[in-house]
A and B are shown apart, each in its own frame.
Chain A
Amino acid sequence: MSVLSCEQTDVRIAGIQVVNKLDLEIRQGQFWGLLGPNGIGKTTLLKCLAGLEQPAAGRILLESRAISELPRKLLARHIGMLQQHTVYVFDSSVLQTALTGRHPHLAYWEREGAEDFEKASTALKVVGLEGFENRSVTGLSGGEARRLAFATLLVQEPEIMLLDEPTNHLDLRHQVEIMGMIHARTQAGSHSAFAALHDINLAARYCSHVIMLFGDGAWCAGRKEDILDESSLEKLYNCPVERLESASGPRFHPAAG
């Protein structure tokens, strides 16, 4: 059981309060979509949840313990994060990079065993990078690098997956595949996910819960059926939105005019 929660959390960027007293519980089985315009603090909130930054006020808890007091290695076994950008300065092979996901599970002197290699190969296969094992990471395309970063997260096996724009650089098929994978894992009840997204319809299709950040500190969070509608989206993006019905639920588009 791993619940990641915020208690009365404030997030500030350059002195401006972008999130005011956020109370949130990310429970297993939930897939949260984090929506909001550019520069509103989505990444900063994700970093706070991952323990990379301290919130301006309030606490972030894993179960009942403040994550700021937990050792990083322990955190890394429970919480993983896909960053918005991955830059590789030093050359390395795709397989070796995927294997770094095992780092928090191994003792300092320990080498990766057959099981770790197995996990890395499986993850690479799952994201469609089979056969790339010995390729250099510096030669990958943007989308391939993105899928490798996601594979590394899968290899890390955290129950709580934080994802900063997971579909960046991905073509349509890979967007659907990766969102589908996260959806399937959370549906199974063993994992939870919290993803900053720009595509409302990916949120509408795959997420179970949605949180919106309005930028003035206001937020609203809950089940997507209760949160996602034209009026809240229009307020969020300051742009007229129309709702269309599809077989798999409502979809939202910018309204003409």
Chain B
Amino acid sequence: MMPTAHRRLLFLLLALFSAGSILIASAIGSVMLDWSQWLTAMTDSTSEFGELLWRLRLPRAAAAWTVGALLSLSGCLMQVLLRNPLADPYILGVSGGASFAALLGMTLGVAASILPALAWAGALVSILIVFSLSRGEGPWSGTRLLLTGVVTASGWAALISLLLTLGPDSSLRGMLFWLIGDLSYARLPYWALAILIAVFLACFGMARSLNVLAMGETTARLLGEPTRKLLWLIYLLASVLTATAVSVAGNIGFVGLIVPHLMRLLVGSDHRILLPAAAMFGGLFLVLSDTLARTVVAPRQLPVGVVTALLGVPLFLLLLNRARVKQ
């Protein structure tokens, strides 16, 4: 158990680092701002770099933070839902449906501004398919949900490959960036932030139930949880989080798998601490990854999904190894 003082310090630090990461992201890029330029730009949005800061970098950094938090939260929920530490936000096919819809839109040449809505609609179709097929009568079956989700995801993957094969070459690059996950065109959508806050509050409110559920469905029922209802609620909440993240930024990988794990290693598995910690760390991790994605080969930009994987994998393996040594 983490003492209250430690918990507060942890949250304070993560909040500070989150804010810091967004400020750093606003100063760094293909145009590097020094201290005085940055200060002028911050205080005066009509100044030389003010527009760059307020119209491009800050909205993008805020979008990155929101997406990182959405994915990490979704990952935490999926892991409890399936009681499997390998579960990630994409495992049940939500992102597959979103990707297929978005890529179809690109193939047909719809306006980029419509793509998020299209992706959300695709995700919703996938959520409903998996929900209705795996619901069935009888007790909760995590295995049935997992299999239905994984198979649905494979179905979407096949359709996506089909689109990639048949689609016009001109849209391939856009599609590829979307599939890897890219924040180049992302601006902070307030609806995504609203969904993040609403779902976070709902999950935080039932964090103790999540703790009990992590011990197994039967144990949770014996401790007074109506688990069937709770598990479907978690499925829907996690899916909404994933759908929102994917609609904004495409399939950014590894954040939703690695951040929940990292946080479990660092703060333990009490969801009252884990959920806020994972959300904030996921946010700042994605802001920093995106900043790297913009700067490493500037003025060219990498899709952020490449950077999250390149950063996340070694970081995760290192921490996992250290945790084992400690035990």
Interface on A for B, CB 8 Å cutoff? 50, 52, 71-77, 80-81, 83, 86-93, 95-97, 99-101, 103-104, 106, 108-111, 133-134, 136, 139, 156
By the criterion CB–CB under 8 Å, are A72 and B221 in contact?
yes
CB nearest neighbor in A for B209 = A108
Q: What are 26 sample pairs from A and B whose C-beta atoms fall under 8 A apart?
A: A72-B225, A75-B224, A76-B222, A76-B224, A77-B224, A80-B222, A81-B222, A87-B216, A88-B215, A89-B83, A89-B214, A89-B216, A90-B79, A90-B85, A90-B264, A91-B269, A92-B214, A95-B1, A96-B1, A96-B211, A100-B219, A100-B223, A101-B223, A108-B208, A108-B209, A110-B208
List 4 additional A-B contacts (Cβ < 8 Å) besides A52-B222, A106-B208, A156-B223.
A73-B225, A89-B84, A96-B268, A103-B208
Q: Tell me the complex Cα distance, A167–B190, Å.
A: 56
Q: Is B205 an interface residue (CB 8 A)?
A: yes
B218 to chain A, nearest CB (A): 6
Q: Tell me the complex Cα distance, A49–B327, Å.
A: 40
By the criterion CB–CB under 8 Å, are B223 and A91 in contact?
no
Q: Is B212 an interface residue (CB 8 A)?
A: yes
By the criterion CB–CB under 8 Å, are A90 and B269 in contact?
yes
* Tally of A-B Cβ pairs under 8 angstroms: 84
Contacts of A104 in B (CB 8 A): 223-224
Contacts of B83 in A (CB 8 A): 89
Q: Is B206 an interface residue (CB 8 A)?
A: yes
Interface membership of chain B positions 196-220, coded 1 if the CB is closer than 8 angstroms to chain A and 0 otherwise = 0000000001101101101110110
Interface on B for A, CB 8 Å cutoff? 1, 79-80, 83-85, 205-206, 208-209, 211-212, 214-216, 218-219, 221-226, 264, 268-270, 272, 327
By the criterion CB–CB under 8 Å, are A52 and B218 in contact?
yes
CB nearest neighbor in A for B220 = A103
Contacts of A95 in B (CB 8 A): 1
CB nearest neighbor in B for A139 = B327
A87 to chain B, nearest CB (A): 7
By the criterion CB–CB under 8 Å, are B205 and A83 in contact?
no
Q: Which of A52, A81, A92, A103 contacts B269 (CB 8 A)?
A: A92
By the criterion CB–CB under 8 Å, are B264 and A91 in contact?
yes
By the criterion CB–CB under 8 Å, are B226 and A72 in contact?
yes
Contacts of B216 in A (CB 8 A): 87, 89
CB nearest neighbor in A for B219 = A83
By the criterion CB–CB under 8 Å, are A90 and B225 in contact?
no
Q: Which of A74, A90, A111 contacts B214 (CB 8 A)?
A: A90
CB nearest neighbor in A for B227 = A72
Contacts of A134 in B (CB 8 A): 1
By the criterion CB–CB under 8 Å, are A100 and B215 in contact?
yes
Contacts of B211 in A (CB 8 A): 92, 96, 100
Contacts of A101 in B (CB 8 A): 223
